[in-house]
Structure 1
Amino acid sequence: MVERRDIEIFLELGRELHFGRTAENLRVSTARVSQTIKQLERRIGVPLFERTSRRVELTPVGRRLHEDLAPAYQQILDGVARAVAAGRGIDGTLCVGFIGTAVGRFLFEVADVFHARNPTCQVQVRENAYSDGTTPLDEGRIDLLVAALSPPEGSGLSASPILFREEPLLAVSARHPFARRESVTLDDLAHENVLRPRLLPDFVDEALVPRRTPRGMLITRGPDFSTIQEMCALVGAGKGVFPVPTHAAEYDARPDVAYVPLTDGAAFEWRLLWRTTAETTRVRAFVQAAQDYVNTRRDPLINR
């Protein structure tokens, strides 16, 4: 008999394709993940994953099993969650903030999952500016915020496990020499003006752009901006460069902006944040809906 946890591990590994990240996301050991997959493969009789020293991939049988199990498992989760919600009486309104086109769509889809489980609770999704930082949370204007950062100790904020990761790209003018390169590094930023989000707290800004390159060279900061469109306009005009998540190349495409892989930049690790003192049943239920949603998808930012 296949246990629920075995299915969770298989679906998460099929989405992440990385044993370590799967273990981290599910808060189990890497050995537990490996043991579970081996047991599933023995039970089914064929390999579900192809493993090499460099990568993990689903086999054709594994891919088909993942496609079959993911929606069925989501239905089970939704059914259990609706029963729990009915018992707890989750209602009212929940306000969730985001930055970025693709992240906004992700939130609307999570909100659909949440609302299906909690039909008497309304979800408001609001776009924030880069320059807002965590201020809307601090001031109680929103209940949750999707952000690619981990709050430091003493910030008064709590965070969900990582929901999904994106590799960094560097947004540059289409006329910039970098636009003709296959990739750039953090050391290349020493010779550029790197834009700065306006009024952003230092801990948030430094999570996006370090003060110095790996070789110790100072990174010069250029003009500041408030919104994504303002950033793109500055980049397109050749006023500076800025690191962005992978989805920007598709969702923020412009003829005057090019996106180049930033090979050693920090990955964008998206989490839900909320004020620790304002944690409610609604907040916990939405965080759970987000985790369940991403656990059934290999790429939460792409419709499947």
Structure 2
Amino acid sequence: MELREIEIFLTLAEELHFGRTAERLHLTQSRVSQSIKQQERKLGAPLFDRNNRVVRLTDLGIQLRSDLVPGYRQIQDAVARASATGRGLAGVLRVGVQAAWSGDLVLAAAAAFGVANPDCDIQIREVPLSDPFGGLHAGQLDLQLTIRPAAEPDLTVGPVIFSLPRMLVIASGHPFAQRPAISIEDLADVCMVTVAGPPDYWVNHHLPPQTPSGRPIPRGPAVAEWETAWAQVASGKGAFFASNWAAGDRYHYSRSGLSFVAIPDAPPLEWGLLWRTNAETVMLTSFVKAILEQREATLTRD
């Protein structure tokens, strides 16, 4: 039997309907019927019992289907793998995330992407707060969902995934914690925990040295990871920034003693995609699309 004949037989064995089989295979119904008759002549016995109302497999048809299915699936899988490899949709893609709540989006995108592209292995890794671009620079990561800004000459700045209102994380006993909102000018009256490691432009964007009127904003201890920042804040040694999603019920940090205060006049926190400019692949761009689709689904649910 030719491969096309096998395909026609197995599809009819599944559909048990000549019209649906023809439609599924983009053939005419007479072509399907002719192929089955030719197969039956070669085998010397009918594969289907059929009349005007019903189509059923004969015992020979059941046996042939059972024998053919494993081999046919192997052929399909081999062709699919070859196609995926040829299109660049096979192999490992290492994706970095910089916070647990943003990692949820990447995990969901990876799950959906894996179903459609089973030969792609999406490996998700945490990006240190203190080294937001090191993994990409060193070639240890291929793609990253991270906090902007990013002004690195060897990195491509991809689409913004989230633009979220900025909030001040403050110890629950601090006077600011009793207020519904503060302004950027109020930051002159609180010590800000800073971050050790990122480029100066990144630190100054998130922790400006002064308010819009020129009042200095005091800087406190420098931290290298999120958990240390929350510990410093909870112990009253300074304040820090977070998005409103980080403060929400789904992603609220479990550490007690933290309060989240809105800063309506502060610029939003932007989370976007980055990748090495000289390492853009079909798999990478396809997964970027998957993240964007998952983001739209998330925003729709919310």
TM-score, with length taken from structure 2: 0.68
Distance verdict in 2 for CA 1:85–1:208, change over 3 Å: farther
Matches within 5 A, 1:176-255: 176-250=174-248, 251=251, 252-255=253-256
Counterpart code for 1:101: A
Corresponding residue number in structure 2 for 1:25: none
Q: Which runs of 4+ in 1 moved over 2 A?
A: 84-87
Corresponding residue number in structure 2 for 1:148: 147
Sequence identity (%): 33
Task: Note if contact 2:98-2:146 (Cα within 8 Å) is conserved in structure 1.
Answer: yes
Distance 1:207 1:274 in 2: 21
Task: Note if contact 1:196-1:225 (Cα within 8 Å) is conserved in structure 2.
Answer: yes
RMSD: 2.1
Corresponding residue number in structure 2 for 1:122: 121
Distance 1:188 1:85 in 2: 55
Of residues 187-196 and 233-242 in structure 1, the stretch that sits farther from structure 2 once superposed is: 187-196
Task: Note if contact 2:130-2:197 (Cα within 8 Å) is conserved in structure 1.
Answer: yes
- Number of residue equivalences: 219
Distance 2:111 2:205 in 1: 30
Corresponding residue number in structure 2 for 1:50: none
Do residues 166 (structure 1) and 167 (structure 2) align?
no
Give the superposition deviation at 1:100.
Answer: 1.4
Give the superposition deviation at 1:85.
Answer: 5.0
Task: Note if contact 1:150-1:159 (Cα within 8 Å) is conserved in structure 2.
Answer: no
Counterpart code for 2:174: H
Give the superposition deviation at 1:114.
Answer: 1.9
- Work out which of the two has the higher radius of gyration on C-alpha atoms and give 1 or 2: 2
Corresponding residue number in structure 1 for 2:279: 278
Segments of 5+ residues of structure 2 without an aligned counterpart are 1-80
Paired residue secondary structure (1:129)? coil
Distance 2:261 2:156 in 1: 33
Distance 1:259 1:209 in 2: 17
Distance 1:141 1:89 in 2: 19
Give the superposition deviation at 1:234.
Answer: 0.2
